[in-house]
Amino acid sequence: MAAPVFDVPEIKNEIEIPKLREGVMAHAKTFPATKPVQDFMGYPHELPEDWKERAIDKMGDLLGKYRSLKVFLDACVHCGACTDKCHYYLGTSDPKNMPVARQDLMRQVYRRYFTTAGKLFPKLVGAKDLTQDILGDWYNYYHQCSECRRCSVYCPYGIDTAEITMAGREILNHVGMGQKYSNEILGKVQKIGNNLGLPGPALEDTLEGLEEDIEADTGVAVKMPLDVKGAEVLLITPSADFFSEPHVESLIGYAKVFHAAGISWTLSTHASEAGNFGLFNGNYETMRKVAMRIRDSAIELGVKRIVVGECGHAWRVAYSFWNTLTGIGYGGDDPFSIEFQKQLDPNYPQPQHICELTNDLIKSGKIKVDPSLNDDLVVTYHDSCNVARASRMGTEPGGQFTIPRELIKSVVNNFHDMADGTIGEATFCCGGGGGILTDDLLEVRVKGALPRATALNNVVKEHKVNFMAMICAICKAQFTKVLPKYGFDMSMVGGVHQLVSKAIKLDKAE
């Protein structure tokens, strides 16, 4: 299928709030999942006859399982605080991409079937019967949301559209309207071990190749161990790190850090993926199954620490959910979690982010770096949405902002932040997160990147920034693809550990 033609928005001096243009993104439909994909996930692949009952039943089921969904669908007063906060609205000007309008796509149905007011006076409160048109709207606009939570920062009741998008996608799956991209990936990660479908032998080859490259480059035999029993650290990283550019540069960075610090570590074939698309689809059981691969591998390999590589949503799942889902963490008092806690080294946070680990090693002088090796770069930092608004690093709130910046500043001499209101908790999503990093949604991705591109353009003009560092595999893939459309060079995009990799001093005396 040919990619739809569209205009790339023009970068202005400031991020502007556009006037509404109704229906301008109504054509953006992500490819539907096919029968084998849906079969594996246990979902129908086409609209069943009783689709309406199924959809309403599923909604009722989710309302009973998630307080967030119930409270969020009730509490909105249509104040409008969120209306100009979504990067997809700012980039497309389609009103259904305003967070509240996106929520209302579900809220109108919720009110009709689950509330007294909507049952009695549907017109008055904007309640509507579920129709195939509405399902179509859900399919389109719940795949124009990256679940980045920017709206939830600004909502006076903390309504998080991501929770509603997740529920929407889960309901769609139950009536046979799954998304090809996410559901294929969920199949691959469960069958093969990673989202890219890279089998064990291929992974082994890739890692050996990388070891040779590093040795050729530095003269030091830095290892990339795979499935090594008894290693201290199990590194869980997005599979893109194994062979996508610029991701692989960060993988090399992690390997050099472990080498220089003398920490024994290993990757795992079975858990060769940090990403967990179960999050995006709002299916708890799938998310847990995918997360359990990590616990299983950690037990099999007997590691004492679990460290997570540069991946935004993976860090959300790891930091916020692993303890709940799999017992990776502390404080559990049931046999399932106690059994695993006994294996872990209590001197470290579990799981630990690679930035926490590297930053600690540099600060304590256990590894040495020379920031002047990055003097060709003027660096800025893109806060990835899931790290910024759904996780933490270190012991203090906001450590997810300070620790990566501290780390960057210790390995580069030239650093400039982008404007307030576009970083930290207010950061703009790259435009490709939440399960929409697929070419069939390229228009949505390009337009959704407009706010970030605008903020980046300003530091490029003002400070001659030529490198945007980040800690997310999706951000890296998205930006290398869409920033060139705005006239930026794709080599501007890279990982924080790509910078570490250049600055780190390796011991050559072996």
Partner 1 sequence: MGLSTVTMIYAGMFYIAALVMAIGLVYKIVDYSRTPVPLKIPTTPAPTTRSGVIFRMAKEVVVFESLFKANKWIWIFGWLFHFGLLLVLLRHLRYFTEPVWFWVDIIQPFGKYASFMMVIGMLGLLARRFLVDRVRYISTPSDYLMLVLLIAIGVTGMLMTFVVHTDIVALKMFFLGLMYFDVQPLPQDLTLLIHLAMVAFLMLIFPISKLLHAPGLFFSPTRNQVDNPREKRHAQAGWAKQVNQTK
> Within 282-301, which residues bind partner 1 (CB under 8 A)?
284-285, 288, 292
CB nearer partner 1, residue 115 or residue 413: 115
Please list every residue from 123 through 142 that binds partner 1, using CB under 8 A: 123-126
Distance of CA 379 to the CA centre of its chain: 22
Size of the site for partner 1 (CB under 8 A): 84
- Determine whether 435 is exposed, middle or buried from the number of CB atoms within 10 Å of its CB (0-12, 13-18, 19+): buried
State in angstroms the smallest separation of the CB of 329 from partner 1.
5
Binding map of partner 1 across residues 379-398, x = CB under 8 A, - = no contact: ---------xxxxx--xxxx
Residue 94 token pair: 């389609």
State in angstroms the smallest separation of the CB of 353 from partner 1.
10
Among 6, 8, 11, 20, binds partner 1 (CB under 8 A): 20
Task: Examine residue 334 and tell whether it contacts partner 1 (CB under 8 A).
Answer: yes
Task: Examine residue 84 and tell whether it contacts partner 1 (CB under 8 A).
Answer: yes
CB nearer partner 1, residue 21 or residue 464: 21
Distance of CA 213 to the CA centre of its chain: 29
Please list every residue from 106 through 125 that binds partner 1, using CB under 8 A: 115-117, 121, 123-125
Tokens 């998080």 — which residue?
160
Among 15, 55, 85, 502, binds partner 1 (CB under 8 A): 85
State in angstroms the smallest separation of the CB of 154 from partner 1.
4
Binding map of partner 1 across residues 40-59, x = CB under 8 A, - = no contact: --------------------
Among 87, 112, 143, 149, binds partner 1 (CB under 8 A): 149
Residue closest to 313 by CA, chosen among 274, 352, 344, 282 = 274
Among 140, 182, 183, 337, binds partner 1 (CB under 8 A): 337
Rounded alpha-carbon distances, angstroms, from residue 76 to 88, 118, 330, 417, 508: 20, 15, 36, 34, 61
- Determine whether 504 is exposed, middle or buried from the number of CB atoms within 10 Å of its CB (0-12, 13-18, 19+): buried
d(Cα 428, Cα 374) in Å, to the nearest integer?
26
Residue partners of 320: CB distance under 8 A and separation at least 6: 390, 391
Residue 113 token pair: 């079937």
d(Cα 349, Cα 346) in Å, to the nearest integer?
7
d(Cα 279, Cα 503) in Å, to the nearest integer?
35
State in angstroms the smallest separation of the CB of 242 from partner 1.
27
Distance of CA 451 to the CA centre of its chain: 18
State in angstroms the smallest separation of the CB of 300 from partner 1.
13
CB nearer partner 1, residue 314 or residue 477: 314
Task: Examine residue 156 and tell whether it contacts partner 1 (CB under 8 A).
Answer: yes
